[in-house]
Amino acid sequence: MSKGPIIILVEPQLGENIGMAARAMANFGLHELRLVRPRENWLNQKTEAAAAGADFVLHGATLYDSLKEAIADLNFVYATTARERGQGKPVHGPTDAASNLKIRIDEGEKVGVLFGRERTGLENSDIALTDAICTYPIDPGFSSLNLSQAVLIMGYAFRLAGNDATLPFGQKTRWPPAERGAVLNFFDYLDEKLEERGFFRPANKKHRMSMNLRNILLRIGMDEQDLRTLRGMIVRLVEGPRVPYSKQRKREAAEKAARDTSQDDET
């Protein structure tokens, strides 16, 4: 028992399209497929390949000799078409159609959506058997929609109309969010190092520049590990490579000498 609309393909010509339609149905949780007079040998290797594992839809498909038989047990049927047909039927976009289908299914109706032949679509006599038309907000300059793509849009719209529109996952932090005190301490450390390095020029803009930096970095929304990473990055940029302690002492002495030299210049 499918909880979505039944998808009915009328005289589909290409096995690949049937397979891709089955796959598209499975993507959005539609399970019941009916085929009206598909081309002979429609179920071939290409069909199976295109279904990409949606076998429960493809092999569960039922075949009919006529559209009339295919919709005999249904209560409400949409015809999909890209062109106006002058039949005076209600016309809905996918969102409204899906919402209408959802309400009817919840009330116990059996509902279906018809899709026509690859080249020519549904005939007027097909459409005459349906309750309403569903058409898509397609670019009028390029309205040739692949059959399986048309099925996909219906599945997606129905998914949005249902309770299933929740996403499979949300934004995750791997670590607990950093405590604000630790973040602010990091900013103070950063301010101090930037001050030493002459970042805050002119001096009277220091407060504003420092505030601006906080605003930029707070947009990261740091977790504990992000904070450790950023602090580690700044420490390395400031202190340079880690070296064994004894070598570091010698290097510091040499650097101090260098600094003294340059300070002498400035006096």
Question: What would the two tokens of residue 170 be?
Answer: 């949300």
Min dist CB 100 to a copy of itself, Å, is 14
Min dist CB 220 to a copy of itself, Å, is 5
C-alpha 127/C-alpha 77 separation (Å) is: 10
C-alpha 222/C-alpha 178 separation (Å) is: 6
In this chain, which of 44, 124, 143, 185 binds a copy of itself, going by CB under 8 A? 143
C-alpha 63/C-alpha 69 separation (Å) is: 10
C-alpha 18/C-alpha 54 separation (Å) is: 11
Residues of this chain, 96-125, that bind a copy of itself according to CB under 8 A = none
**37/206 with CB nearer a copy of itself:** 206
In this chain, which of 32, 48, 126, 226 binds a copy of itself, going by CB under 8 A? 226
Question: What would the two tokens of residue 254 be?
Answer: 């040499």
Site pattern 7..46 for a copy of itself (x: CB under 8 A): -------------x--xx-xxxx-----------------
Residues of this chain, 180-209, that bind a copy of itself according to CB under 8 A = 193-194, 196-199, 201, 209
**32/226 with CB nearer a copy of itself:** 226
Question: What would the two tokens of residue 20 be?
Answer: 């891709």
Sheet holding 76-80, edge to edge: 62-64, 33-36, 6-10, 111-115, 76-80, 132-134, 91-92
**74/213 with CB nearer a copy of itself:** 213
C-alpha 30/C-alpha 154 separation (Å) is: 10
Site pattern 153..172 for a copy of itself (x: CB under 8 A): x--x--xx--xxxxxxxxxx
Question: What would the two tokens of residue 12 be?
Answer: 């589909």
Determine if 177 is a binding residue for a copy of itself (CB under 8 A): no
